[in-house]
Every structure is written in structure tokens, then in C-alpha cells.
């Protein structure tokens, strides 16, 4: 599933091609995504110019006309630029054709993604209860420490809660906990302030590094320019259950936490 670095990589890839460009035509081949594409979307965006291409958590916010086109890549979705009129494949569900002669193409084999519309004067419900961005000053270890007090849930699902901090998905939660030396099974409320300060630093460091490397290529993810990400080469634990720890040589363990697979080192993480 594309996580925050993959979505930010997509944003950076498509933004230069969309900013200030006018939409000439919307082509919808399949409306049945996670939520149906609005029937009146063409009315909202055709003839309008893109003002800004932003991101909030894992949502892409395409500011245009009198509102925002909200995009989510789901589990297998991608947005990339192609020449307008490029023949569509089986899973190419939407083209937003531009006067420049290019088209923003949404592809999604599993159709778990979304393209929704929000008027400028009506913030969308999906964005209303999100926590701070992990790379912003609003997120730090003190926030993790204070919100964790009294919580018996494991620390990994705790930091993956979007109300606590957005965008720390399974890949990067696993990697940050390893870097901070914290066992993902530990109760969130029993971790010290000092360890949370370290964990927040590692979350920021790892997410920033993943963004710079174009995200992590898993299965069929590629960025907005059609190129794969390269952070997978730097993973220490995610997806490596049963292999040897790169740090100490211990066989990595794998458990289920919050219905997610979690790989960790029993020697390095406590």
C-alpha cells in the first residue's frame, strides 16, 4: 500500500505538470472506486486551472476552481502523466486531460483508491480528524509521550493511529521502532518520555529519507513520473521475517499486531 513517502513522491512528480494548467476534458471509464466518483466532477473541473497540488496525510489535494479534488491511492493506485489520447489499459480508470496536451491518469487494479470532490467552503469529513504531519513542528516525542499515558495498546498500532500522527504506516512504523530500539509489542503507556523523544526523531528521519529516495517499491507502486522508489534497499525489518538482523545477526521474529504483520529483532528491540 502506498504510504506517506510514496504519496509525497507522487505529489512532487505531478505538481510541476499540473500547476497553472487548465483542464480540457475529464474522461471517466470506471466510477466504482472505494467511493463512486462524483457524477458532476466534470462540471466542477473542466475549464478550470489547477492552483496548487498539496498533500495531507496520504491524501493528495488538487486545488482547482471552486474546490479540491481529493485523491487517495488505496492499495495499488497510481497517478502519472501521459500524453493525452494514450490508449488506456484495463485498470486505467480516469484521465484528466490538460490543455498542455498531457493527461493525469489514475490507474488502480484493486479499485480501493478514491477521487472525491470537496467545495472550498465545505472541508471534507475525511480530513477533519487527522493528527499533525510527522515532519512538522507540531509532531514530537512529547506529544507521543503525553497521548500514550494510560494506554495499554501496543506501541506500533499507537503510532499508526492517524489521530496521533498521520502517515506513519506499517512500513515506516516498523523501521522507526527498530531504529529506536523499541519492541513493537510493548504497551504504549509503559514507554518513557526519553524513548519517545528518540522514536519521534527516527520517524522524522526515516520518512524524510524515504521521500528523498522516492518511497519504497512494493509490488506495483511507482511514483508520479513512472519511476520506482528505492527505499526498499534500506529496510532493516519490514518484510524480512525469518531473515537475519542486519545489525546483530539474530533471526528476525514476525508477529501480528492490529491485524498487521510486524517484524522485529528480539535482541535489538526491547
Residues annotated in a binding site: 91, 110, 151
CA distance 153 to 158: 7
Residue of 58, 80, 156, 195 marked active site: 58
Asked about 2 being catalytic, the answer comes back as: yes
Residue of 3, 6, 97, 202 marked active site: 3
**Which three cell numbers mark 183?**
519492541
CA distance 75 to 244: 28
Q: What is the CA radius of gyration of the chain?
A: 20
Q: Between the CA atoms of 142, 146, 149 and 155, what dihedral angle is there, to the nearest 10 degrees?
A: -50
CA distance 232 to 225: 18
Asked about 260 being catalytic, the answer comes back as: yes
Asked about 38 being catalytic, the answer comes back as: no
Residue pair 222/181 in contact by the 8 Å Cβ criterion: no
**Which three cell numbers mark 266?**
528480539
**Which three cell numbers mark 60?**
493528495
Residue pair 168/160 in contact by the 8 Å Cβ criterion: yes
* Binding site listing for DNA: 91, 110, 151
Burial label, 98 (beta-carbon count in 10 A; 0-12, 13-18, 19+): buried
Asked about 134 being catalytic, the answer comes back as: no
CA distance 102 to 81: 6
> Known catalytic residues?
2-3, 58, 260
Amino acid at each position: 500500500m502506498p504510504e506517506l513517502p510514496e504519496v509525497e513522491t507522487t505529489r512532487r512528480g505531478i505538481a510541476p505538470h499540473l500547476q497553472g494548467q487548465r483542464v480540457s476534458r475529464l474522461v471517466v471509464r470506471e466510477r466504482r472506486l472505494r467511493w463512486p466518483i462524483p457524477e458532476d466532477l466534470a462540471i466542477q473541473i473542466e475549464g478550470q486551472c489547477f492552483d496548487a497540488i498539496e498533500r495531507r496525510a496520504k491524501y493528495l489535494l488538487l486545488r482547482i476552481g471552486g474546490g479540491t479534488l481529493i485523491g487517495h491511492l488505496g492499495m495499488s493506485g497510481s497517478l502519472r502523466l501521459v500524453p493525452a489520447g494514450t490508449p488506456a489499459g484495463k485498470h486505467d480508470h480516469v484521465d484528466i486531460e490538460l490543455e498542455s496536451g498531457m493527461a493525469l491518469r489514475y490507474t488502480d487494479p484493486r479499485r480501493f483508491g478514491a477521487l472525491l470532490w470537496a467545495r472550498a467552503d465545505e472541508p471534507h469529513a475525511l480530513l477533519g480528524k487527522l493528527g499533525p504531519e510527522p515532519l512538522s513542528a507540531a509532531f514530537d516525542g512529547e506529544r507521543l509521550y503525553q497521548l500514550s499515558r494510560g494506554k495499554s495498546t501496543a506501541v506500533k498500532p499507537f503510532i499508526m493511529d492517524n489521530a496521533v500522527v498521520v502517515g506513519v504506516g506499517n512500513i515506516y512504523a516498523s523501521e522507526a521502532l527498530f531504529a529506536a530500539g523499541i519492541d513493537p509489542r510493548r504497551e504504549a503507556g509503559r514507554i518513557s518520555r526519553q524513548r519517545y523523544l528518540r522514536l519521534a526523531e527516527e520517524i522524522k528521519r526515516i520518512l524524510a529519507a524515504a521521500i528523498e529516495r522516492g518511497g519504497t517499491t512494493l509490488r506495483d507502486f511507482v511514483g508520479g513520473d513512472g519511476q520506482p522508489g528505492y527505499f526498499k534497499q534500506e529496510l532493516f525489518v519490514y518484510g524480512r521475517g525469518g531473515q537475519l538482523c542486519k545489525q546483530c545477526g539474530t533471526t528476525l521474529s514476525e508477529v501480528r499486531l492490529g491485524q498487521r504483520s510486524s517484524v522485529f529483532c528480539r535482541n535489538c528491540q526491547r
